[in-house]
Structure 1
Amino acid sequence: MKRLRFLICMVVVLALSSFAIVSAETEIRFPSWMWGEVGTGDWFRDGVAQFESQEPGVKVLDTLVPAGQYEEKILIDLAGGDPPDLAPVFTNMLPKLMDLGLLEPLDDYLSQTDWAENLLPVQSVAQKDGKTYGIALTASPNGLIYNKELLDQAGVDVPTTPEEMLEAARKVKEVTGQFGYGFGTRTADVLEAYIPLMQWAIGFGG
Structure 2
Amino acid sequence: MKMFRITAILSLGVMLILLIYAGNYYKSLRETPVDNQIKDRKVLRILAPYENTANSKMLKDIANQYSNIKNNPRVEIEFISKNDFKKEICMNLDQDQLADLILCDNSIMPALINLNVLRDISTYIDETSLESHYYLEQWNNTRSDGKYYGIPFTCDPYVLIWNKNLFRKNNVAVPITWDDLKTAARKAEEVGINGIGIAARQPEEITAFFIQMLYTTGGSIREINGDGGMKVFELIDYLKRNKLIPEECINWNQLDLTNNFIDGEIAMMINSLSALSVIKESDIDFEVGVAAVPYEKKENYMFHGKNIGISITADYEASIKFLNYVTQKSIVKQIAEETEIIPAQVDVDYNFEKDGYVVSKEFIQKQKEHGIAKSSLNSWFDISAAISDGVYQLISETNPSIKNIADTMQDRVRIAIIDN
Indicate the TM-score class for this superposition, using the shorter chain for normalisation: 0.5 to 0.7
Q: Is the 8 A contact 1:127 1:133 kept in 2?
A: yes
2:175 alignment counterpart: 159
1:5 alignment counterpart: none
**Which of 91, 105, 127 matches 2:143?**
127
1:144 alignment counterpart: 160
- Equivalents in 1 of 2:172, 2:60: separation in Å? 47
Superposed counterparts of 1:48-87, under 5 Å: 48-54=63-69, 56=71, 58-87=73-102
Structure 2: which amino acid aligns with 1:44? L
Report which of the two has the higher share of helix.
2
Question: What TM-score, normalized by structure 2, do the two folds share?
Answer: 0.36
Q: 1:82-129: per-residue Cα shift (whole Å, max 9, x none)?
A: 322111123343222223433211222234446442024323211122
- Equivalents in 2 of 1:134, 1:149: separation in Å? 42
Structure 1 residues 154 and 47: alpha-carbon distance in aligned structure 2, compared to 1, 3 A threshold:
closer
| Structure 1 range deviating more: 46-55 or 69-78 | 46-55
Structure 1: which amino acid aligns with 2:212? G
Question: What TM-score, normalized by structure 1, do the two folds share?
Answer: 0.66
1:18 alignment counterpart: none
2:212 alignment counterpart: 203
1:19 alignment counterpart: none
Structure 2: which amino acid aligns with 1:124? N
2:197 alignment counterpart: 182
Structure 1: which amino acid aligns with 2:185? A
Q: 1:60-86: per-residue Cα shift (whole Å, max 9, x none)?
A: 232233333233111211133332211
Q: 1:28-74: per-residue Cα shift (whole Å, max 9, x none)?
A: 2212234x842333322332233334452623232233333233111
Max Rg structure: 2
Detail structure 1 runs of 4+ shifted over 6 Å in the superposition: none
SS of corresponding position for 2:43: strand
| Structure 1 gaps, min length 5 | 1-23
Q: Is the 8 A contact 1:148 1:158 kept in 2?
A: no
Root-mean-square deviation (Å): 3.2
Q: Is the 8 A contact 2:63 2:76 kept in 1?
A: no
1:16 alignment counterpart: none
Structure 1 residues 115 and 204: alpha-carbon distance in aligned structure 2, compared to 1, 3 A threshold:
same
Q: Is the 8 A contact 1:31 1:62 kept in 2?
A: yes
- Equivalents in 1 of 2:58, 2:168: separation in Å? 41
Structure 1 residues 112 and 161: alpha-carbon distance in aligned structure 2, compared to 1, 3 A threshold:
same
- Equivalents in 1 of 2:116, 2:205: separation in Å? 29
SS of corresponding position for 2:56: helix
Structure 1 residues 39 and 164: alpha-carbon distance in aligned structure 2, compared to 1, 3 A threshold:
closer
Q: Is the 8 A contact 2:64 2:75 kept in 1?
A: no
1:45 alignment counterpart: 60
Structure 1 residues 74 and 156: alpha-carbon distance in aligned structure 2, compared to 1, 3 A threshold:
same
**Which of 168, 172, 175 matches 2:184?**
168
Structure 1 residues 157 and 74: alpha-carbon distance in aligned structure 2, compared to 1, 3 A threshold:
same
Aligned identity (percent) is 22
| Structure 2 gaps, min length 5 | 1-39, 215-228, 230-420
Structure 2: which amino acid aligns with 1:127? R
Q: Is the 8 A contact 2:44 2:76 kept in 1?
A: yes
Superposed counterparts of 1:81-100, under 5 Å: 81-100=96-115
1:9 alignment counterpart: none
2:43 alignment counterpart: 27
The number of aligned residues is 174
- Equivalents in 2 of 1:107, 1:56: separation in Å? 26
State the Cα distance separating 1:163 from its structure 2 match.
Answer: 2.8
